[in-house]
Amino acid sequence: MTGVVVIGAGLSGLAAACALAKRGVPVRLVAEGLGGMALSQGTVDLWGHDPAPVARPLERIAAAPQGHPYRAIGAHNVRSGVELLLDLLGEGFLEGDIETNTLLPTALGALRPTALYPPSMAAGAPSDGARWALVGFDRVRDFYPRLAAGNLNRTQLPGGGFVHASAHMLDLPDHPLLGGADASAMTVARVFDQPGYAQMVARAIAPLVKGHDAVGLPAVLGATGRDAWATLTRELGKPVFEVSLPPPSLPGHRLGQALTSRARELGVRVALGARVTRFTAEAGRVIAVHAAAAGAPRPYRADEFVYCPGGFESGALTMDSRHGIVERLFGLPLTGLAPVDELITADYGARQKVFEVGVRVDDEMRPVDPAGEPVYANLRVAGSLLGGAIRWAEKSGEGLALGSAWAAVEAIGRSAA
Amino acid sequence: MSAASLQAGHALARASLDACVKCNICETQCPVMAVQPNFAGPKFVGPQAERFRQGESVDRTLDYCSSCGSCTLACPQGVKVAELNSQARAVMKAGHMPLRDRLISQTVLMGKVMSPIAPLANGALRVKALRVLIEAFFGVARDAPMPVAAGGSFERWFARRAKRRGGSPPPDADRSRLGPDERPDKPRDGCDAGEVGAAGEADCIGRLTPNARSRGKIVFFHGCAGNYFEVETSKRAVEVLEHLGYEVLVPRQGCCGLARQSNGIFDGATKNVLELCAALRSAGADLPIVSASGSCTGMLKHEAHEIMGVDTPELADVSARVKDVMEFLADLDAAGELPHKFQPIEATVPYHAPCQLKSQGMGLPALDVLALIPGLKVVESGRACCGIAGTYGLKKEKRAIAQAVGAPLFEMFRETGGDLGICDTETCRWQLRQGSGMRVEHPIFLVHQALGLGDA
Ligand SMILES: Cc1cc2nc3c(=O)[nH]c(=O)nc-3n(C[C@H](O)[C@H](O)[C@H](O)COP(=O)(O)OP(=O)(O)OC[C@H]3O[C@@H](n4cnc5c(N)ncnc54)[C@H](O)[C@@H]3O)c2cc1C
Ligand code: SF4
Ligand code: SF4
Ligand code: SF4
């Protein structure tokens, strides 16, 4: 077996590559750039909105309608995909209950349902009458405690009742690594990794948060570990929770980095800066993909290919000036196509059906043509390229990525056997 | 600075600018931003500031960028961030280039001056007082790692050896083709004394008659560091290739101009790279070209074109043929043509893949090849950069940044390794040797040892 080539370094690509490597399959991961994890919340969303909040995601997944990618993936593969992720990340990286969604506050003060989350977000699960102090940092853009607290205070909890959030601002203590007037979330997070800094911040916050049950802070408490969050929790003597910010999202970044090093440890060979631009196929099988590289393109041959290139955001799907939508590498058949005024509507908040456009797969995660026949016998697709779901509206992105990655790996195992 | 060539390279990088979606993913990977908060970071000085540039950059923090390329590598949208930065810096520095930047980018000159008097030169660079003076006058940080000149050049070794083995070194024909600073200051063995080779042969310093020529001819590109400083690396690479059955040709060659390019001296660098292409092509059409200098290879493969806009058919020909030696071996293996006859090496060795190598989009071929050696455990550093980034970390105003960038990597090397670490490019090895206090060599050393050709 010459092994498997995985294309794409997002959640689905990394998960598929790690799962294959764990099974002893030689695997090569080829990607143009890093995946979108630093754009995500750092949580594992399985199914959150329907559009009403979903309480039990796996049950909802099991009842996915015809045409929804969860239908081909199946709830059992989602469960195994999530278990794979937990196993890869190790004890204490994520917590929560895969059966039941938890509501967590966003930077705007909405409550969003998710299945798993980092321990540093756990105390943000709301309860009636909880007194929260939301503290913003002067130099951190994108977290405005008054806005968040205002929205939270008028949001009724599903079981009834409200949290009582108050808003506070803190001038961050100086640090040589902090630099000028405002700093990126990443810069501030690195300063929180410096010895003694979290203690200093805890001393400054303490007077602001007296009489509160929990403290909500922008998610900048460390670029890598959880030390800063643990220190703040200990020093303040009450639960502290992080609230995810717009990109770069630190919780998402931490997850991405952890998975990437895990892949490395498992012996996954990674080629970054390698956009796959061409492929060769023979007798209904993909023989090789060819990636751009300095000098000359490099061919990657394999028995099986897992294609995890993301969707519109990563450029795997594009729309031309005549509104023609194509999948750029293999030219795969797409579902969900319609005249452009049906796909994109002027009402910004409406369901934009363009994001449902994507590839349809069979149970083996192979892209199929309109007749339902697989396009190539050894090409499988995972992640955001799968059509039929609007991930951010449904809050289903990670579940789809992990479930399809797992289903593809299982299918490869079956076909090799 | 040649406006025309810069514009060509610039058009290429600029075309990628609109693809930026401001996701900030590049910022999460920039090693300089992690230690120097005054640096506005890749997204800002790259695609963002580029929109406002008409001529010279108004944003001077741009000079903090080390051109390590981590941003370009990470960007999911294919924005050529580091390339934009290099170009904008060349414009910014044009006209007021510090003498220091001109000098440290003269790698051939440095090698020439130092190599005949190696013990003396090496000694002098280690003398603190002298380094303090150099820093004061030229701005090369007094504690920056300095190349250690080898006693004799690789060219000399190769030519002597060719002669000893009864090869036929061709005449040292056309010296005038080389630029003044590439002209050897004394006659070389082999070439000058040599017997007459076949008419019309390349301007070679030698040609070996290996035991088995089963695999045909191959051209070796040594780079200036590989000629004067990291001579052992070049020797071992050649011995490995010969062992595999290649007839190794070493045409007389000068510098690739990378150091000048990274210091924004595009005119000089363009001249260098074109002369080098001519030299490498003179050895024969369509032959594979192999190098053990990862960064020089990167210059030939893409930087000369993408950063400086050099757009000649000769460069295009060379860039498609040149391979890093580990890439070459990994590709042989992928094609099933590398015999797995390796002796075991019981060791755990830390490995740092230099940014220059990673940015070539070929993955990490050294890991593929070293994985074939029984008993050997190679641990990849996973770090973006060692800090040196070519000549960046040599400069006194950048030295502290370079050290801060490298610190976690030095620690990783010390924690992982015995006494040996590995890394594919020269200046990174100098930085790592100094930072970790360990022996740091090119991965070819381990291949050489595992093939039974000598100790690593
Ligand atoms: C801004 C944003 C917000 C989102 N918010 C939510 C949310 O709130 N909830 C939710 O559930 N989901 C959300 N999602 C969706 C979710 O993040 C993704 O579904 C999930 O990350 C799965 O990613 P992926 O692995 O499919 O692809 P990605 O993470 O997009 O990775 C794609 C990879 O493929 C590579 N690539 C692409 N083409 C090629 C090629 N030709 N050759 C080589 N490599 C290639 C890219 O470089 C990259 O490495 C959001 C997505 C975005 C972009
Ligand atoms: S340059 Fe690339 S990585 Fe950086 S912000 Fe723009 S799109 Fe994102
Ligand atoms: S080239 Fe390196 S130092 Fe420069 S901006 Fe990009 S990542 Fe940062
Ligand atoms: S990269 Fe190599 S050939 Fe180029 S200047 Fe440096 S040592 Fe010389």
Task: Provide the pLDDT for residue B38.
Answer: 85
Inter-chain CB proximity A272 and B25 less than 8 Å: no
Residue B140 confidence class, pLDDT cut points 50, 70, 90: low
Helix (H) or strand (E) holding A282: strand A276-282
Q: What angle, 0 to 180 degrees and rounded to 10, lies between the N-to-C axes of helices B81-93 and B3-14?
A: 150
Cα(B421)–Cα(B349) distance, integer angstroms:
6
Q: How far does residue B77's CA lie from ligand 2's centre (Å)? A: 7
Asked if the domains B3-93 and B340-450 are classified in one and the same CATH topology, the answer is: no
CA distances to A128, A150, B15 from A154, rounded to whole Å, are 12, 7, 47
Specify whether domain B340-450 bears CATH 1.10.3470.
Answer: no
Instruction: Give the position, in ligand 2's atom list, of the atom nearest the Cα of B21.
Output: 7
- d(CA B34, CA B70) in angstroms, rounded, equals 12
Q: What is A107-243's CATH number, 1.10.490, 3.40.50, 2.40.10, 3.30.1370? A: 3.40.50
Give me the CATH topology for the region B3-93.
Answer: Fumarate Reductase Iron-sulfur Protein; Chain B, domain 2 (1.10.1060)
Distance CA B162, CA B159 (A): 5
Query: Ligand 1 within 6 A of A301 CB?
Result: no
The domain spans of chain B are 3-93, 99-138, 154-331, 340-450
- The tens digit of pLDDT for each residue in A192-251 reads 999 999 999 999 999 999 999 999 999 999 998 789 999 999 999 999 999 999 888 999
- Sign, CA dihedral A6-A8-A9-A10, equals negative
Roughly how many angstroms between the first and final C-alpha of chain B, as a whole number?
Answer: 43
A350, two tokens: 């409406």
- Work out which ligand 2 atom sits closest to the CA atom of B78: 2
Q: What are phi and psi of A41, to 5 degrees?
A: -80, -10
Are A52 and A31 in contact by the 8 Å Cβ rule? The answer is no
* For residues A53-80, average pLDDT: 96
For a pLDDT cut of 90, what percent of chain B falls above it? 40
pLDDT of residue B163: 80
pLDDT digits (tens, 9 = 90+) for B260-286: 887 778 888 899 999 999 999 999 999
Count CB neighbours of B87 within 10 A: 27
- Give CA–CA dist B386/B405, Å, rounded: 6
Chain A: give the shortest CA distance to residue B333, in Å. Answer: 12
> What's the mean pLDDT in B403-411?
89
Say which range, A21-35, A91-105, B116-130, B176-190, has the weakest mean pLDDT. B176-190
Query: In chain A, what are the domain boundaries?
Result: 4-92+253-416, 107-243
Under an 8 A CB cutoff, do B77 and A248 touch? no
When pLDDT is averaged across residues A395-416 and rounded to a whole number, the result is 96
pLDDT at B183: 35
Number of CB atoms found within 10 A of residue B127's CB: 10
Instruction: Report the residue of chain B nearest A33, measured CA to CA.
Output: B76
pLDDT of residue B108: 56
Quote the CA–CA distance of A26 and A1 in Å, as a whole number.
8
Residue with more model confidence, B175 or B244: B244
pLDDT in tens, A136-165: 999 898 899 999 999 999 999 998 999 999
Cα–Cα distance, A210 to A236 (Å, whole number):
9
**Residue with tokens 């190790």, as numbered in its chain:** A90
Residue B100 pLDDT? 55
Residue of the CA atom closest to atom 1 of ligand 3: B67
What is the predicted pLDDT for the residue at B230?
87
For residues A258 and A89, is the Cβ–Cβ distance under 8 A? yes
Average predicted confidence (pLDDT) for chain B: 79
Interface test with A, best of B362, B372, B381 (most A CBs within 10 A): B362
Mutate to test the interface with A, among B26, B28, B296, B358 (most CBs of A within 10 A): B28
What pLDDT, in 10s, does the model give residues B144-183?
676 666 678 899 899 888 787 765 444 343 333 333 333 3
CATH number attached to the domain at A4-92+253-416 = 3.50.50.60
pLDDT, position B166: 62
Q: What pLDDT was estimated at residue B203?
A: 44
B187-233 residue pLDDT tens = 333 333 233 333 333 444 544 444 456 889 999 999 888 888 889 99
Nearest chain B residue to A271 by CA: give it. Answer: B363
pLDDT confidence of residue B96: 57
The predicted structure's pLDDT at residue B184: 38
Contact at CB, B361 and A273, closer than 8 angstroms: yes
Question: Which 3-state string (H, E, C) describes B256-299?
Answer: CCHHHHHCCCHHHHHHHHHHHHHHHHCCCCCCCEEECCHHHHHH
pLDDT score recorded for residue B135: 55
Q: Identify the burial level of A125 via C-beta atoms within 10 angstroms of its C-beta, where 0-12 means exposed, 13-18 middle and 19 or more buried.
A: middle
List Cα–Cα distances, B96 to A226, A352, B265, in angstroms: 47, 54, 11
**What pLDDT is recorded for position A155?**
95
Distance CA B99, CA A171 (A): 44
Distance, in Å, from the CA atom of B118 to the CA atom of B122, rounded to the nearest integer, reads 6
How far does residue B357's CA lie from ligand 4's centre (Å)?
13
Which has the minimum average pLDDT: A45-49, A183-187, A233-237, B144-148?
Answer: B144-148
pLDDT tens, position by position, A333-392: 999 999 999 999 888 878 889 999 999 999 999 999 999 999 999 999 999 999 999 998
- Residues B269 and B105: their CA atoms lie apart, in Å, by 9
Q: Where are the beta strands (DSSP E) in A27-130?
A: 27-30, 95-96, 102-105, 111-114, 116-117
Count of other CB atoms within 10 angstroms of residue A225: 12
pLDDT at B122: 54
